[in-house]
Structure 1
Amino acid sequence: MTEDFQFAWMVYAASTLVMLLAGWWFMRNWRWSWVRQTLLLVAAAVLLAPAKTSVAESVAVPVLPLFVYQTLFEENGAAPEVTTNLIFASGGALAIMVVWGVVSLLMRFRRDRRRRFDEDPYFNEQ
């Protein structure tokens, strides 16, 4: 990758991280923190994941901006590999958050159940 593209990637990544931090800051008081975390993780995945193109010596370009550019300005629309990269980046982020959400719900359920049992020794839910 040439020096110009490295500098462009650094600027793009830094501005994307600043935008994600600003999103986290403004959404920090939401009651459902898992929604905030899911939105920010999906946004980070589609904005920072590089697209794999069919050209052998092409420069890595972020998935979402490339998808939008190809959809709007190219005759045939977005290339299939760019669309696939976008789907897998967002789907992977959503899958990670689903697993995290299920585990945290189970842990919270067990913690509440243990707390109720400690408060009431006659509590038995079988």
Structure 2
Amino acid sequence: MSEDFQIAWFVYAGSTLVLLAAGWWFMRNWRWSWLRRAFLLVLAAVFLVPVKIPVAESVAMPVLPLYLYQLLFEENGAAPEVTANLVFAAGGALAVMVVWGLVSLLFKFRRERRRRFDEDPYFNEQ
């Protein structure tokens, strides 16, 4: 990868992280924090996941800008591998958030149950 392209990647990644931090800042008072986290993680995944197109001497590019470019400016639309990378990036981010949400719900349920048992030692949910 050439030095100019590395600098472009650094600028792109830095500006994307600034954009995501600004999004987190403006959404910090949302009541549903899990929705904010899911939204920001999916945006980070689709903005920052690189895709390498099967053209000789090509370099990895961010998947969402490449997808939009191909969709708007190429005759055949977006390439299948670019579309698949975009779908798998967003789906993977959502899968991570689902697992994170289920684990946090399980811990919250167990914490609430333990708190109820500590308040009432005769509490039994059988």
Q: TM-score under structure 2 normalisation?
A: 0.97
- Number of aligned pairs? 126
* Alpha-carbon shift at residue 13 of structure 1 (Å): 0.6
Once residues 75 and 18 of structure 1 are traced to their aligned partners in structure 2, the CA distance between those partners, rounded to angstroms, is: 33
Aligned to 1:75, the other structure's residue is in SS state: coil
User: Between the two proteins, what is the percent identity of the paired residues?
Assistant: 78
8 A contact 2:52–2:59 mirrored in 1: no
**Structure-1 residue corresponding to 2:81:** 81
Unaligned runs of 5+ in 1: none
Offset of residue 56 of structure 1: 3.3
Following TM superposition, where does structure 1 have runs of at least 4 consecutive aligned residues deviating by more than 2 angstroms?
none
TM-score for both structures, normalised by structure 1: 0.97
- Contact 1:67–1:78 under 8 Å retained in 2: yes
Q: Which residue of 2 aligns with 1:99?
A: 99
Partners of 2:57 and 2:120 in 1: how far apart? 67
**Unmatched runs of 5 consecutive residues or more in structure 2:** none
Could you say what the CA RMSD is over the residues aligned between the two structures, in angstroms?
A: 0.8
User: What do residues 30-56 of structure 1 show as CA deviations (whole Å, max 9, x unaligned)?
Assistant: 121111111111100000011121113
Distance (whole Å) between structure 2 residues aligned to residue 46 and residue 78 of structure 1 = 15
Corresponding residue for residue 52 of structure 1: 52
- What is the rounded CA distance, in whole Å, between the counterparts of 2:107 and 2:56 in structure 1? 47
- Per-residue deviation at 1:12? 0.5
Secondary structure at 1:51 match in 2? strand
The residue type equivalent to 1:29 in the other structure is N
